[in-house]
Structure 1
Amino acid sequence: MAKERWTHSDTTVYNIGYHIIWCPKYRRKVLQSPISERLEVLLKEKADEIGVVIETMEVMPDHLHLFVKAKPTASPHWIVQQLKGYTSRILRQEFKPLRTRLPSLWTRSYYVESCGHISEDAVKKYIEDQKRN
């Protein structure tokens, strides 16, 4: 069965998607196995906890791409803050090189773009194609 394009709540019908990108501090290539696998698990855990759906995720050695769907009450800044804070704290506890090589895991900056229905497929394809380039 095809997935419903819209999400319904008691008072709202919405389809809100964000393409989010962020990098490790100094764009260091630290997001490699086993850190990248653990990062994916942590991102999914936190997204479930805060009510965000990760539609597509690609972790590159020096940055990551997410395409997420969120409620209208969840701002992009809050989503990024929750995901970056949670993953940084746990990854730095579990992987000593992340504590010794970097003063903090993530840069303070990030990229976010809201995506409507028409551009959604293009964003997903772009993210999935990142590993091939």
Structure 2
Amino acid sequence: MGQSSYLHQSHNVSNLVYHFVCPAKYRRIVVSEGVDECIRQTCAGIELRYEWIEFLEIGTDKDHIHFLIQSTPEHSPGEIIRVVKSITAKRVFAEHPEVKKQLWGGEFWSDGYFVSSVGKNTNEEVIQNYVKQQGTQDSYQQLYIKI
């Protein structure tokens, strides 16, 4: 994980960074240290499998997770987050069956999500620090003080 860079492809150069926020189903408090680690390891595997997804930062709170992801213009934010949510949910349920019992509907993630693009050299560092500080009391206030 780190800073974004310009991605050079045969017919384009891009710097597309997205800030996603994905709540757990029913906003249940299910993101323990074990689930956090499981999601981070799964995301590392996603990066290897999908070369067009790079996680710049992952931040967890008890009932939602922030992802700062860089991708390419061929892939929409919706496609990116569908891949991330699908694979991470399967892995969490496989490694943490107690979470599946808490969510009794068979889904880890809420259907919706938040997404925002992050500009290079403007808000990216602020957003990255905000994502990194998830779970701390002042993280929300810090974001809006710095912007």
TM-score under structure 1 length normalisation = 0.90
Shift of 1:84: 0.5
Shift of 1:91: 1.4
Between the two proteins, the alignment pairs up a number of residues equal to: 131
Pair 1:127 & 2:131 matched = yes
- 2: CA distance, partners of 1:112 / 1:11: 26
| Partner deviation per Cα, 1:24-57 (whole Å, 9 max, x = no partner) | 1111111102111111111221133222111111
Aligned to 1:113: 116
- 1: CA distance, partners of 2:12 / 2:64: 34
- 1: CA distance, partners of 2:66 / 2:4: 24
Structure 2 residues not aligned, in runs of 5+: 138-147
Amino acid at match of 2:129: K
- 2: CA distance, partners of 1:79 / 1:131: 24
Shift of 1:107: 0.4
Pair 1:81 & 2:85 matched = no
Q: CA RMSD in A?
A: 1.6
8 Å contact from structure 2 (residues 31, 62) kept in 1: yes
- 2: CA distance, partners of 1:4 / 1:77: 20
8 Å contact from structure 1 (residues 23, 63) kept in 2: yes
Amino acid at match of 1:87: T
| Partner deviation per Cα, 1:68-121 (whole Å, 9 max, x = no partner) | 110111111011100110111121122211222211111000000011112211
- 2: CA distance, partners of 1:4 / 1:28: 32
- 1: CA distance, partners of 2:76 / 2:26: 26
- Kindly, what percent of the aligned residue pairs are identical? 23
Pair 1:55 & 2:56 matched = yes
Shift of 1:131: 3.3
- 2: CA distance, partners of 1:109 / 1:93: 22
Structure 1 residues not aligned, in runs of 5+: none
Give 3-state SS (helix, strand or coil) of 2:130's partner.
helix
TM-score under structure 2 length normalisation = 0.82
